Amino acid sequence: AQSVTQLDSQVPVFEEAPVELRCNYSSSVSVYLFWYVQYPNQGLQLLLKYLSGSTLVKGINGFEAEFNKSQTSFHLRKPSVHISDTAEYFCAVSDPFESGNTPLVFGKGTRLSVIA
Amino acid sequence: DTGVSQDPRHKITKRGQNVTFRCDPISEHNRLYWYRQTLGQGPEFLTYFQNEAQLEKSRLLSDRFSAERPKGSFSTLEIQRTEQGDSAMYLCASSPGGGGWKTQYFGPGTRLLVL
């Protein structure tokens, strides 16, 4: 079964500074990878996804992530954060070679706090 | 599309009571998922429907939990004889059929507190 490790539970960063949120997944032949954002008391909003093709994927709100198969990583980056980016970020993996009904497996999340 | 909706958004109940949550997926999404999220954790899969058929259940789904999707549209999740350990956010997600099945879209969740 797949597993996801988000290496940092909390990341404080000053406004307009760059940020990287780290995500590693357990090895598999092929995976689909996702980043979701959760604002307080809300559901999850899809930021970006890697299904196939280019390893650098761009998402909403200026975020991007790079799929690195050799390092089994899918780190999320933003060159300049805003106060409004303060939220919980979840990395998730889906293994497309199981039954076809495979749910997402999530990491424990990284709380990004942007400081003015 | 109006997105995935869930009702109620919050529920407070006493231990031993039954509760039922509703999820309305995005129109024409034939796949529907339920997840549970406890404080400080990522969501964990509970169960999955394709149309009206419940095709997969997690071992987290004890016999006190039951889910239905009778007409392949909205779904309900019922918890019988609630326990304090059931306190969590219950999230519903849907995805379309065909090639779009890979991406799940989440609702706002129902936050349950069992006293």
d(CA B19, CA B49): 20
Q: Under DSSP, is residue A107 helix (H, G, I), strand (E, B) or coil?
A: coil
Tell me the chain B residues in contact with residue A43 when contact means C-beta distances shorter than 8 Å.
4, 6, 91, 106-109
The band of A79, judged by pLDDT with boundaries at 50, 70 and 90, is: very high
Q: Answer for the pair B5, B24: CB distance below 8 angstroms, yes or no.
A: yes
Nearest CA in chain B to A103: B45
Among A43, A94, A105, select the one facing B91 at the smallest CB separation. Answer: A43
Q: How does pLDDT run across B32-66, given as a tens digit for each residue?
A: 999 999 988 999 999 999 899 998 888 888 899 99
d(CA A97, CA B29): 21
Mean pLDDT calculated for residue range A76-84:
97
